[in-house]
Amino acid sequence: MYTQSFSVQDAPGLKAVDSAAAEDPKLMEQFQARIDADGRIEPQEWMPEAYRKTLIRQISQHAHSEIVGMLPEGNWILRAPSLKRKCILIAKVQDEGGHGLYLYSAAETLGTSRAEMLEALHSGKAKYSSIFNYPTLNWADIGVIGWLVDGAAIMNQIPLCRCSYGPYARAMVRVCKEESFHQRQGYEALLTMMKGSKEQRDMVQDAVNRWWWKCLAMFGPSDADSLHSSQGMKWGIKRISNDDLRQKFIDATVPQANVLGITLPDPKLKWNEARGHYDHGEIDWKEFWETVNGNGPCNKERLATRVKAHKDGQWVRDAAMAYAKKQEQRRMKEAA
């Protein structure tokens, strides 16, 4: 979901992406030819510094989004309405932790460390997807997050399976398969609620009203206003523009909303026969930037929870390191 990094800069203090001008023109030419031929760039190969830094920023923002994304839903594990829903939600939240793991590992192949990336997240320098700075008010929010937030994530992430950087592209193949389960479990939870009482149907409608516009904003600003978008396209990191992805998401979601029996909160949402797409109303970018810049309803809470989780997990990391050391010593002794 989480490719807003083309549009959203990390806070000052993280290294800016350099221009490609200083690189060896011959190497640059070979690099570009490889990408133009739909080849993959692997960690041990030459790459321009700006490409490396762009990817570190994008993949680490993506990884941060996965693990911060565990928090709003994790809040509901103890309050899930049945054992079945609890099992599904635990599995989903655990998947998101796994996505973070693959992505941090992919970013590490570019020469950054897990500790550096987490430090950037915990100090507030690095961004994560702003969608996770909104509260989950009731159980319907959990269904809507699966259906719409994970649904938007899939739209964004499927093209990343063809990203020019090999480790990122390969990580995304598995991530996308799991995201597809996330989307379906959310939709199925909502279908069940829509077959229930009037109160349950009202809860679903209310949650959709609160999340719809935020999900559309997840694709990032219009391409004309998106920093780095065209360079990302040239380098095969970004394959489809923000606006085109948003349109694909809307076109796929409207029929699902109809089956569900809810109304999407946009009076301008209308099928345009000539374009072969749905037209839609204006997104409130002011709210998006406010949230990105730290002033959303849950920014501080999410970051504080994440920092606390990291601190509370110190003993687990220490234990894992001590165990690895012991194993290593045993191997050395056996080999001696």
**Distance in Å from the first CA to the final CA of the chain:** 50
Q: How far is the CB of 179 from Fe ion (least distance, A)?
A: 5
Stretch 86-125: interaction string toward Fe ion, x if CB under 5 A: ----------x--x--------------------------
Q: How far is the CB of 297 from Fe ion (least distance, A)?
A: 21
Instruction: Name which of 7 and 183 has its Cβ closer to Fe ion.
Output: 183
Q: How far is the CB of 69 from Fe ion (least distance, A)?
A: 6
The encoded tokens of residue 198 equal 């009037």
Instruction: Name which of 141 and 150 has its Cβ closer to Fe ion.
Output: 150
Instruction: Name which of 181 and 285 has its Cβ closer to Fe ion.
Output: 181
Instruction: Name which of 99 and 214 has its Cβ closer to Fe ion.
Output: 99
CA-CA distance, 33 to 36, in Å (whole number)?
5
CA-CA distance, 176 to 160, in Å (whole number)?
9
Q: How far is the CB of 157 from Fe ion (least distance, A)?
A: 8
Residue among 182, 214, 246, 306 that touches Fe ion (CB under 5 A): 182
Residue 206 CB-half CA count within 13 A: 13
Interface stretch with Fe ion, choices 3-11, 20-28, 145-153, 164-172 (CB under 5 A)? 145-153
Instruction: Name which of 51 and 211 has its Cβ closer to Fe ion.
Output: 211
CA-CA distance, 266 to 254, in Å (whole number)?
11
Instruction: Name which of 141 and 179 has its Cβ closer to Fe ion.
Output: 179
Cβ atoms of 107 and 170 within 8 Å: the answer is no
> Cα–Cα distances in Å, from 18 out to 139, 289, 324?
45, 24, 39
Interface stretch with Fe ion, choices 103-111, 173-181, 217-225, 235-243 (CB under 5 A)? 173-181
CA-CA distance, 216 to 189, in Å (whole number)?
21
Q: How far is the CB of 303 from Fe ion (least distance, A)?
A: 19
Instruction: Name which of 66 and 266 has its Cβ closer to Fe ion.
Output: 66
Q: How far is the CB of 153 from Fe ion (least distance, A)?
A: 6
The encoded tokens of residue 167 equal 């480790």
Q: How far is the CB of 251 from Fe ion (least distance, A)?
A: 21
CA 9 distance to own-chain centroid? 15
Phi and psi at residue 270, in whole multiples of 5°?
Answer: -155, 140
228 binds Fe ion (CB under 5 A): no
Total binding residues toward Fe ion, as defined by CB under 5 A: 6
Residue among 108, 141, 150, 266 that touches Fe ion (CB under 5 A): 150
CA-CA distance, 99 to 175, in Å (whole number)?
6
Burial class (CB in 10 A: 0-12, 13-18, 19+), 147: buried
Site for Fe ion in 52-71 (CB under 5 A): 66
Any idea what the Cα angle at residue 219 is, between residues 213 and 220, rounded to 5°? 95
Residues that bind Fe ion (CB under 5 A): 66, 96, 99, 150, 179, 182
